[in-house]
Amino acid sequence: MAGVFNSLAVLSALALMALRYLIPCGTLRKVVAFSGSTGALHWPVIAAVGMMFFFLAQGGVWAYVELIGRDIGLDPESIGMILALGLVTSILGAAAAAWIGDRVSYLVVFGVVAVCETAAFLMLSHGKSGPIFIAAIVLFGIMWNFGIPYTMTALTRVDPSGRFVVLIPAIQGLGVGLGPIIIAAFVSSENLVPVGYVGSVAILAALLIYLPVLGRLRAMSSAPTKD
């Protein structure tokens, strides 16, 4: 597993190098004039629940990928290298999110993430070969990092007060922590197939929960901007 931790060190170094390219603080949020209360509590609550389900899927499936690799006959060294490859290639997802930004509808982004991750999860559950396992891990990692910025941005934009923004790490941690616990109720040492199904249900639930929030964002973006 040393390859995994070495990859994490490389990713950390790359992240530090990328700091200069981050959007300056204070330019992310657009202030709009919108009828009704833009700080209505239920919008950030819905977005927070959606984020929790998103991370429930990620954390739940990721906790079992090593066991799935062993189940299909891969040795620990190969599994470690494949997971390291998944972590390194996941940079592509973050890079794609940074490049796309708001050019594409959030509904399209969330839909792509949900469909691709569902495909990756089912590949993990039913793909009984090394190449399929590698493809699933790479796709999983890319979509995970592609979706994270949009889940966070959706929450921040419907939470002008900033009360829920500070809870983002806790929301993410709750989802990652609940995922393996929930999946554990459906799997056994002889049957890991439910991992992909529970992950798929969770990511699709996240999409459905986010739908009203995405509608709210569209309405806000079409409202007149305040000077």
Task: Tell me the pLDDT tens digit for each residue of 137-180.
Answer: 999 999 999 999 999 999 988 887 778 888 899 999 999 999 99
Span of 1-10, 132-141, 176-185 with lowest mean pLDDT: 1-10
**Predicted pLDDT at 13:** 52
Using one digit for the tens of pLDDT, what is the confidence trace for 23-49?
A: 444 444 443 333 344 445 688 899 999
On the CB side of 42, CA atoms within 13 Å amount to 5
Q: What residue spans define the domains of the chain? A: 43-218
Sign of CA dihedral 105, 106, 107, 110: positive
Q: Which residues of 97-136 are buried (b: 16+ CB within 10 A; e: fewer)?
A: beeeeeeeebeebbeebbebbbbbbbbbbebeeeeebbbb
Joined together, the tokens standing for residue 226 give: 């305040």
Residue type, 5: F
**Predicted pLDDT at 226:** 52
**Predicted pLDDT at 116:** 97
**Predicted pLDDT at 218:** 80
**Predicted pLDDT at 152:** 92
Range 43-218 classified under CATH 1.20.1250.20: yes
**Predicted pLDDT at 75:** 93
Using one digit for the tens of pLDDT, what is the confidence trace for 41-70?
A: 688 899 999 999 999 999 999 999 999 999
Residue type, 54: F
CB 139 within 8 A of CB 119: yes
Please give the model's pTM, rounded to 2 decimal places: 0.80
Using one digit for the tens of pLDDT, what is the confidence trace for 71-85?
A: 999 999 999 999 999
**Predicted pLDDT at 10:** 52
Give the position of tokens 């629940």.
49
Statement: residue 108 has pLDDT above 60: yes
**Predicted pLDDT at 37:** 47
Q: What percent of the chain has pLDDT over 70?
A: 79
**Predicted pLDDT at 224:** 56
Mean pLDDT of 184-209: 94
**Predicted pLDDT at 89:** 93
Mean pLDDT over each residue of the chain, to the nearest integer: 83
Mean pLDDT of 96-120: 93
